[in-house]
Amino acid sequence: MSRAVIPLVIDTDPGVDDAVAIMLAAASPEVDLRAVTTVFGNVPLPNTTANARRVLALAGRDDVPVAAGAARPLVHPQAERAEAWHGDDGLGGRASELPEPGAEPDPRGAVAVLAAVLRESAEPVTIAPIGPLTNIALLLAVHPELAPRIRRIVWMGGSLGAGNTTGVAEFNAHCDPEAAHRVLTQADVPVTMVPLDLTMSCPAGPEWIGALAAGGPRGEALAQVITHYRTAFRTRYGIDAVAVHDAVAVLEAILPGTLTPTSMAIRVACDLGPARGATVAGGAGPHVGVALDADTDAVLAEILTRLRTLG
Ligand code: RIB
Ligand code: CA
């Protein structure tokens, strides 16, 4: 049976789990990876951009264009980065051990490259933002005419329950709540939101990481990148496992329907109070599909199986 080809752009802040997600896309034959655009987030934009290029080189895909986007949020300064989780370099201290990056980033920048991909594509394009939504909010502001050319947005972010950056806010939403509000509440593009409620319920444990490492040199290098992140999870949560948040979202982008969405309106707290960045279900706004359920064992197994094909 022929597989549906998915024209895809990943917008990312690598980030250890971003690296897993990018490698997953590279390992997936359904994916026509048109570009990778980068955004501030886990670490500053220069690092996220260099990291995206190195991870693509690791995956043997340094042919994929990379373009840098927003270095900071739309309105207020970034309140918190995530070096504690991802290491000072964003890849668990292993960035320099990965292959040298390929071509220089596209000087047009993320928004222009996203617009060009959308304009030039024969069919609508899936966009998988796995960091703050700043680039996507800017794209929709500058090029509203291109919204119909976006098949869907599959965003890793938000949480209906506990947050991971504050008690109530998930990191990607907390980085730029105004951008999240713009993308989640103005109905110009179908959105699937993949929140912590789901991604924290499918932790990748020692066997998963061991099988990744045993898959070959690329899997071993990625497992090394995960080491620091794994220590952070042990310290913070007391578990020997990691949440591959971004890879769960990208698997949904690659295989639509892998996750089970619930349709609901989402409101984003954009005040400067203690709830800033919270994503709250309910209200009168347009609905998004919030992925709250999945066969999490099957999701983890599928991600691992695909990653291991990279060798
Ligand atoms: O809250 C998890 C998200 O924040 C992931 O995208 C991770 O990479 C960080 O950016
Ligand atoms: Ca990320």
Return the SS3 of 147: helix
Contact 179, 147 (CB under 8 A): no
- What one-character-per-residue DSSP string does 75-89 give? SSPP----HHHH-TT
> Cβ-count burial of 18 within 10 angstroms (0-12 exposed, 13-18 middle, 19+ buried)?
buried
The helix or strand, by DSSP H or E, that contains position 180, with its residue range, turns out to be helix 177-185
The residue nearest atom 1 of ligand 1, judged by CA position, is 171
Cβ of 48 below 6 Å from ligand 1? no
Q: Give the pLDDT of residue 187.
A: 75
Helices and strands in the chain, H and E counts = 12, 11
Q: Which residues pair with 152 in a beta bridge?
A: 126
DSSP H or E segment with residue 303 = helix 296-308
Classify residue 197 by burial, with Cβ atoms within 10 Å: 0-12, 13-18, 19+: middle
**pLDDT (0 to 100) of residue 103:** 86
Q: What is the pLDDT along the chain (311 residues), one digit of tens a residue?
A: 556 899 999 999 999 999 999 999 999 999 999 999 999 999 999 999 999 999 999 999 999 999 999 999 999 999 999 999 999 999 999 999 999 988 899 999 999 999 999 999 999 999 999 999 999 999 999 999 999 999 999 999 999 999 999 999 999 999 999 999 999 999 789 999 999 999 999 999 999 999 999 999 999 999 999 999 999 999 999 999 999 999 999 999 999 999 999 999 999 999 999 999 999 999 998 999 999 999 999 999 999 999 999 99
Residue 43: alpha-carbon gap to chain centroid:
14
Give domain 6-308's CATH superfamily.
Ribonucleoside hydrolase-like (3.90.245.10)
Enzyme catalytic residues: 245
pLDDT for position 304: 98
Task: State which of 39, 47, 175, 246 you would mutate to test the pocket of ligand 1, scoring each by most atoms of that ligand within 8 A of its C-beta.
Answer: 246
164 close to ligand 1 (CB < 6 Angstrom) = yes
Selection from 211, 190, 184, 169 nearest residue 266 by Cα? 184
Minimum-distance ligand 1 atom for the alpha carbon of 246? 6
Cross-strand bridge partners of residue 67? 37
CA-165 nearest atom, ligand 1: 1
Q: How far apart are CA 272 and CA 174, in angstroms?
A: 11
Q: Residue 97 C-alpha to ligand 1 middle, in angstroms?
A: 22
